[in-house]
Structure 1
């Protein structure tokens, strides 16, 4: 979470994670932190370049939004560059965005259906550039939201990065199954996640694709600390976002989130984020998500106790998980 740590610290934790048995890194693409006290918001592409140099596993932007702050062509160029530097390791996560980050460029902030349409058109533009550039030819695009004059990417790997689409809704999940290389979602009640995976699989079948061959990625927030009291304190102070039971997409300021965070209570995390000092409870929680059908799970411990978390989970949790 680049909102919580200076970039050099984040890179160091990625390296430490790998030494403790973790095999990949997802980094957030924010212009602002969720809350003022989180205190950071580094540029994700700069940090990913450093992570690639210091680790050997997979890595990508958990969700970037190639529609407002960055044109899809610029996101395609950044992704292709990383994939050229670190072959077969980088993937590209695409989302529809949140006002917290995207409103800063002064554009009109549209309703959800338009944001989703923009996202899928951005995926189309990026895929056009990847496909044409690998073939050594130019391409162009003219759609409802984006224009691309005749061009290509001049730095391009032999194999394009996989494009994963982020969604929390069944309609978007089915649409993603038709066109994306994989799905990203965040922790939610088990039945809701199972339904989401089912709709993604339906979309893949509609397009004549094998859903089991497509990555199904989960970003799982959790709060672990040596005591339950400390774990809950970390959740309430560092990640009250996890207890907010309403849409956050239209909130524009970390200071607005700070006001809303004051309403979050310990019971608000129930069913949304596991808060516990017991590594075995976390292991069982992660295992259940693997059993649902996710094949990659990126863990975010919400506290500042990252080194301690990486050591404990690398020793007591990861070795006991079944793929």
Structure 2
């Protein structure tokens, strides 16, 4: 979470995690932190470049938004560059965005259906650029939201990065199955996740593809510390977002989130993330999601105790997981 740590620290934690058995990194694309206390929000593409140099595993932005702050052609260029520098390691996660980050350019902030349509058009632009550039030709695009004059990407890897769509909605998951290379979602009630994966499979089947061969990725928030009390304190102070049981895509300011965070209570985390000092509870929660069919699970411990957590999970949790 680049909202929580200076970029050099984030890169160092990624390298430390790899030394303790973790195999990849998902980084957030934020312009602002969720709450002022988090205190950071570095540029994701700069940090990913450094992570690529310090690690050997896979890496990508959990959900960059190529629809408001950044034109999809620029996102395509950034992604292709990373993939050219680190063949076979970089993937591109795309989401429909939140006002917290996207409103800063002063555009009208649309309702969710329009944001989602813009996202899928952006994917179309990026896909066209990847495909045409690999074939050595120019491409153009004229759609309801984006224009692209005749051009190509001059720096490309031998194979285009995978495009994964980040969503928690079943309708978007079905569209993702039809047009994207894979799915990213967050933890939640098992019934919701099962329905989401089922709709993703439907979309893949309708487009003549096999969903079992497509990446299904989970971002799993958790709070681990030396004691249960410290784990809960970390959750309340550092990640009150995890206890907010309402839509937040229209909230524009970290200071608004700070006011809302005052209403979050310990019981609000029940069912949304495990808050515990017991490594076995966390291992069981991770395994439960692996058993649902996820191929990769990226873990986010919400506290500042990153080094202790990485070492503890590398020693006590990761060895007990079954793919």
Q: Per the shorter chain, which TM-score range?
A: over 0.9
Distance in 2 (CA, whole Å) between partners of 1:31 and 1:285 is 31
Distance in 2 (CA, whole Å) between partners of 1:198 and 1:150 is 38
Distance in 2 (CA, whole Å) between partners of 1:269 and 1:36 is 21
**Matched residue of 2:248: which SS?**
coil
- Show the 5 A alignment for 1:242-253: 242-253=242-253
- Show the 5 A alignment for 1:11-90: 11-90=11-90
State the match for 2:278 in structure 1. 278
**Matched residue of 1:25: which SS?**
strand
Query: Per-residue deviation at 1:58?
Result: 0.1
Establish whether residue 158 from structure 1 lines up as the match of residue 149 from structure 2: no
State the match for 1:184 in structure 2. 184
**Matched residue of 1:83: which SS?**
helix
Distance in 2 (CA, whole Å) between partners of 1:295 and 1:58 is 13
Report how many aligned residue pairs link the two structures: 323
Query: Per-residue deviation at 1:228?
Result: 0.3
Query: Per-residue deviation at 1:152?
Result: 0.1
State the match for 2:257 in structure 1. 257
Distance in 2 (CA, whole Å) between partners of 1:198 and 1:288 is 17
Distance in 2 (CA, whole Å) between partners of 1:274 and 1:123 is 34
Distance in 2 (CA, whole Å) between partners of 1:171 and 1:236 is 32
State the match for 1:126 in structure 2. 126
Query: Per-residue deviation at 1:253?
Result: 0.1
Query: Per-residue deviation at 1:166?
Result: 0.6
- Show the 5 A alignment for 1:199-238: 199-238=199-238
Distance in 1 (CA, whole Å) between partners of 2:319 and 2:202 is 33
Q: Which moved more, 1:183-192 or 1:92-101?
A: 183-192
**Matched residue of 1:183: which SS?**
strand
Distance in 2 (CA, whole Å) between partners of 1:274 and 1:199 is 26
Query: Per-residue deviation at 1:187?
Result: 1.0
State the match for 1:312 in structure 2. 312
State the match for 1:8 in structure 2. 8
Query: Per-residue deviation at 1:84?
Result: 0.4
Distance in 1 (CA, whole Å) between partners of 2:16 and 2:194 is 32
**Matched residue of 1:2: which SS?**
coil
Distance in 2 (CA, whole Å) between partners of 1:64 and 1:96 is 8
The TM-score with structure 2 as length reference comes to 1.00
Distance in 1 (CA, whole Å) between partners of 2:36 and 2:22 is 29
Query: Per-residue deviation at 1:191?
Result: 1.1
Query: Per-residue deviation at 1:110?
Result: 0.3
Distance in 2 (CA, whole Å) between partners of 1:114 and 1:68 is 12
**Matched residue of 1:123: which SS?**
helix
The TM-score with structure 1 as length reference comes to 1.00
